[in-house]
Homo-oligomer: A and B are copies of this chain.
Amino acid sequence: MIVDTQYVRFDSLPLDCGATLSPVDVAYETYGTLNKERTNAILILHAFSGDAHAAGLSRTDGKPGWWDNMIGPGKAFDTERYFVICSNVLGGCRGTTGPSSINPATGRPYGLSFPVITISDMVRLQKKLVDHLGIERLLAVCGGSMGGMQALEWAVAYPEMVVSAIPIATTARSSAQQIAFNEVGRQAIMADPDWNGGDYYDKQPPARGLAVARMIGHITFMSDESMRVKFGRRLRQKEEFGFDFSVDFEVESYLRYRGSQFVNRFDANSYLYLTKAMDYFDLTNGTGSLVEAFRNVRARFLVISFTSDWLYPSYQSLEIVNALRALNRDVAYCEIPSNYGHDAFLVDIAEQSEIIRGFLASTYRMVSST
């Protein structure tokens, strides 16, 4: 399945901070075919470092999408039955307008003149895309981590449009620990002199700071157990083992590699804006009451978490489930046993696939029979 990323431009987007972005480009991909009743559309929402290329092989570089093991013919999001959409988020750096985009007022990249954005702003832009595609209701909105925040926001902001929501490995509000890890990543970037107040697009980007931020991220995405299985205390092959500050352990080599690779595909300012959007995310808007937040929600829910995910622990999913149950909403909750930590929603997909497949099938039957 060779896929092309598509692009659409919208005139303007009002933001939570009061500013208006104009124009706004959105990069998106679609897989499968929209049925004539337009009842089989599913919106996939990517996590922090994802992009619009969720499935198939990219025509430009031949690479598979980030959730290719979940989306395609016969897969959990079966493209022979469903029309699947994925777009790069607002503030990103993979085709949708973000801090690396040209500010039409200056003819130069926005950098830190890009307005601060929220999860709600991202969803407001996705709504424009869905409208543009002529879809009035989404069979499902689904995403993991930051994508799960967007799925929750969709169900709350556009209750009439969302038939079902599948938030995975996520939270209704970022915890102090989650904010803390994001803040350290931001500080690592801003500590890099090459960051230069966010103005580096015609110069050397803050590669070292961004690599450190990404390394922190990778540790939090894995579990103690998955790191032990993958690396243990295995030493790197060296001519001769000696005590020094070169790479000794496999885990060091892996982190350095992943950190340095990230720099090639991600913008440091996007790192700042997207993590801040996650930190601000609080579905209760500070009231503390998730029940109030969900009062107008009409979607049915499938909430998924993973046993070894310590970054987005299961108790955060249970808060969502309990609030929905207090409102007597249709909600299923699965805590999937996995050693893969937060990464599980991307890699440990056997059980997740079966659960989502069944949930989508029953939701689709429900929609088709009404």
Contact = CB atoms under 8 A, between A and B. Distances in A.
Contact of A233 (B174, B222, B255): B174
Q: Which of A183, A208, A276, A286 is packed against the most chain B CB atoms within 10 Å?
A: A183
State the main secondary structure of chain A at its contact with B. Answer: helix
A282 B233 contact: yes
A215 to B, nearest CB: 5
Given A188-B188, A191-B212, A243 B282 contact: no
Q: What is the count of identical protomers in the complex?
A: 2
A212 B228 contact: no
A351 interface: no
A338 B221 CA distance: 25
A167 interface: no
B251 A219 contact: no
Nearest to A284: B233
Nearest to A310: B310
A234 to B, nearest CB: 9
Given A179-B249, A224-B175, A244-B116, A208 B191 contact: yes
Contacts of A118: 243
A120 to B, nearest CB: 11
Nearest to A281: B233
A332 interface: no
A343 interface: no
Contact of A180 (B174, B255, B272): B255
A319 interface: no
A276 B243 contact: yes
Contacts of A259: 187
A176 interface: yes
Q: Which of A116, A188, A190 is packed against the most chain B CB atoms within 10 Å?
A: A188
A252 interface: yes
Interface string A2-31: 000000000000001100000000000000
Nearest to A256: B187
Interface in A164-180: 173-177, 179-180
A211 B191 contact: yes
A208 B195 CA distance: 13
A232 interface: yes
Contact of A228 (B176, B181, B218): B176
Given A227-B177, A233-B174, A212 B184 contact: yes
Interface of A: 16-17, 112, 115-118, 173-177, 179-181, 183-184, 186-188, 190-193, 208-209, 211-212, 215-216, 218-219, 222, 224, 227-228, 230-233, 242-245, 248-252, 255-256, 259, 272, 276, 279-280, 282, 286, 310, 313
Given A17-B243, A177-B219, A184-B255, 6 more contacts: A176-B227, A177-B227, A183-B249, A183-B252, A243-B276, A245-B272
